[in-house]
């Protein structure tokens, strides 16, 4: 099929920054794109061919949008899966599939999937509602500290809390959830696996993620991860095993813990382009966004080799500001070697909202990390 400069239409559900960066690749190849997002001012709006406003969880909205496209993909997991299932039954290609998405959307189902497929993961318990957690603590089947996760609709640190005392229970939302043992980990890692329609597979280098201690958000992504070759190979093999179990099409970001005992445990996955792969735009031979496009259109996958070491810094809203966004000191970071900022186009800032990222490339990883620290200290995301 001729996808380029043709009547073919690619439907992208979700119009955020991941979609916007994917659209840079569709524009490069002149692929006609449709985007659906609930916000009239979504970042994707300026870059797609056709833009539709609608609720991503509404069956009719998602179904009618998908009927316009030849292939449908996502840039966010919170989508009406029944609508995607109906589209698949009518012969429309949906990547990742509704089956993959249904499992990943629900954290308790995701954890059971790891157990069923012998994929290493942290021990966990499932609860239908919050009050059951208190009962479990009183019965001594659960003890502080532990990690609480809402089974649905969590992202960027939302829907995840470390619970250390009884008072922390008051801040948890009601509804179905899981708890996990608090893992003593050395570092958090991620591996992005690309899988094409025909089953060709490629992995990106293992990256290391440094998190903000309060917001539970990634502050830095470091490529390659500062781990042994043995652990890097082990992490890639676990990611490949996870990818094979899901049999997904497109990208799968596999996040994992490297424990102090040297074990690797899968934390969770995302079936789409991912924050941990932003570095690839500047640092890889094939960016994760081009790779996703190659995979879902069933073209040969590109090389995942790095051209240089890279560190990515997330730009998030300053915790003291809400309102129309302003970026301070961008000209100062542009004077630094190997620095490329990406501004997502969100007009309103709020505390810890992802507003952009900066990638630093350098042949020396230690130097890249130093410059990243300087970038983090210099640039400010505030309100006018």
The answer on whether 267 is annotated among ligand-binding residues is yes
State yes or no: 240 annotated in a binding site.
no
Q: Which of 50, 58, 57 is nearest to 11 (CA)?
A: 50
On whether 118 is known to bind a ligand per the annotation, the reply is no
Q: Is 298 annotated as a binding residue?
A: no
Q: Which of 196, 276, 198, 278 is nearest to 235 (CA)?
A: 276
- Compute how many other C-beta atoms are within 10 angstroms of the C-beta atom of residue 28: 12
- Ligand-binding annotation for 382, yes or no, is no
Residue 214 labelled as part of a binding site: no
The string of DSSP codes covering 86-122 is HHHHTT-EEES-HHHHHHHHSHHHHHHHHHHTT--B-
Residue in the structure block whose two tokens are 């429309």: 92
Q: Is 230 annotated as a binding residue?
A: no
Is 182 annotated in a binding site? The answer is yes
Q: DSSP labels for 126-191?
A: EESSTHHHHHHHHTTSS-SSEEEEESSS-BTTBTEEEE-SHHHHTTSPSSSEEEEE---EEEEEEE
Q: Is 314 labelled as part of a ligand binding site?
A: no
Specify burial of residue 184 (Cβ count, 10 A radius: 0-12, 13-18, 19+): exposed
**Known binding-site residue numbers for ATP:** 107, 149, 180-183, 188, 267-268
**Known binding-site residue numbers:** 107, 149, 180-183, 188, 267-268
């Amino acid at each position: 099929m001729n996808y380029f400069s043709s009547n073919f239409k690619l439907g992208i559900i979700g119009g955020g920054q991941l979609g916007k960066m994917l659209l840079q690749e569709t524009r490069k190849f002149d692929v006609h794109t449709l985007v659906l997002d609930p916000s009239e001012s979504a970042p994707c709006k300026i870059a797609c061919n056709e833009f539709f406003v609608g609720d991503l969880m509404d069956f009719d909205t998602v179904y009618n949008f998908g009927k316009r496209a030849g292939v449908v993909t996502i840039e966010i997991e919170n989508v009406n899966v029944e609508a995607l299932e109906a589209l698949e039954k009518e012969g429309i290609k949906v990547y990742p599939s509704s089956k993959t998405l249904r499992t990943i959307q629900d954290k308790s189902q995701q954890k059971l999937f790891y157990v069923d497929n012998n994929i290493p993961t942290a021990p966990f318990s499932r609860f239908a509602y919050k009050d059951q957690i208190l009962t479990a603590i009183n019965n001594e089947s659960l003890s502080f500290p532990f990690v609480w996760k809402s089974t649905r609709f969590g992202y960027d640190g939302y829907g995840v809390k470390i619970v250390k005392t009884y008072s922390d229970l008051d801040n948890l939302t009601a509804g179905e959830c899981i708890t996990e043992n608090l893992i003593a980990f050395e570092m958090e890692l991620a591996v992005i696996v690309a899988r094409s329609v025909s089953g060709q597979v490629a992995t990106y280098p293992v990256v290391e993620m440094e998190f903000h201690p309060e917001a539970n958000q990634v502050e830095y992504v470091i490529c390659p991860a500062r781990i042994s070759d043995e652990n890097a190979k082990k992490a890639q093999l676990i990611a490949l095993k996870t990818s094979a179990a899901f049999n997904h099409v497109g990208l799968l970001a596999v996040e994992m813990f490297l424990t102090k005992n040297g074990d690797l445990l899968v934390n969770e996955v995302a079936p789409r382009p991912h924050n941990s792969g932003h570095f690839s735009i500047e640092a890889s031979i094939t960016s994760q966004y081009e790779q996703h496009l190659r995979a879902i259109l069933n073209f040969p996958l590109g090389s995942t080799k790095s051209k240089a070491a890279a560190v990515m810094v997330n730009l998030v809203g300053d915790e003291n500001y809400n309102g129309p966004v302003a970026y301070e000191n961008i000209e100062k970071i542009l004077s630094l070697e190997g620095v490329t900022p990406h501004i997502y186009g969100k007009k309103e800032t709020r505390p810890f909202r992802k507003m952009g990222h900066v990638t630093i490339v350098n042949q020396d990883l230690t130097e890249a990390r130093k410059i990243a620290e300087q970038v983090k200290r210099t640039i400010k995301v505030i309100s006018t």
